[in-house]
Amino acid sequence: MDYNAYVRYYFPSEVDCDRADYHLEIAYNLRDNEKINLLNVIYRGGAKSTHVNMKVPIWLIFFYDTIDFMILVSDTGDLSKNLLKAIQV
């Protein structure tokens, strides 16, 4: 499934336009490479955590079965808790 289509369908309340090119590049790089060293410098408020820690992993788990587990790393414990809450069922 196309990443833009996935975000629009499963997160409609958070979407008012297509994803930024860097969101797509990150998503497809993670999908297409079993092992990858990835460094992205993205401006504050650029939805890095929202996509890389939540939306992309869920997309990869449900549509590509490429992740068995994930580790969330963030600058603060509170941010980690908020990200974890967002993906808990």
The predicted model scores a pTM of 0.74
Q: Is pLDDT at 44 greater than 80 in this prediction?
A: yes
Domain coordinates in residue numbering, the chain: 3-87
Averaged pLDDT score across all residues of the chain:
81
Q: Is pLDDT at 61 greater than 60 in this prediction?
A: yes
Residues 6+ apart with CB under 8 A from 73: 80
pLDDT of residue 74: 67
Q: Is pLDDT at 64 greater than 80 in this prediction?
A: yes
Question: Rounded to 5 degrees, what angle do the CA atoms 30, 44, 56 make?
Answer: 25
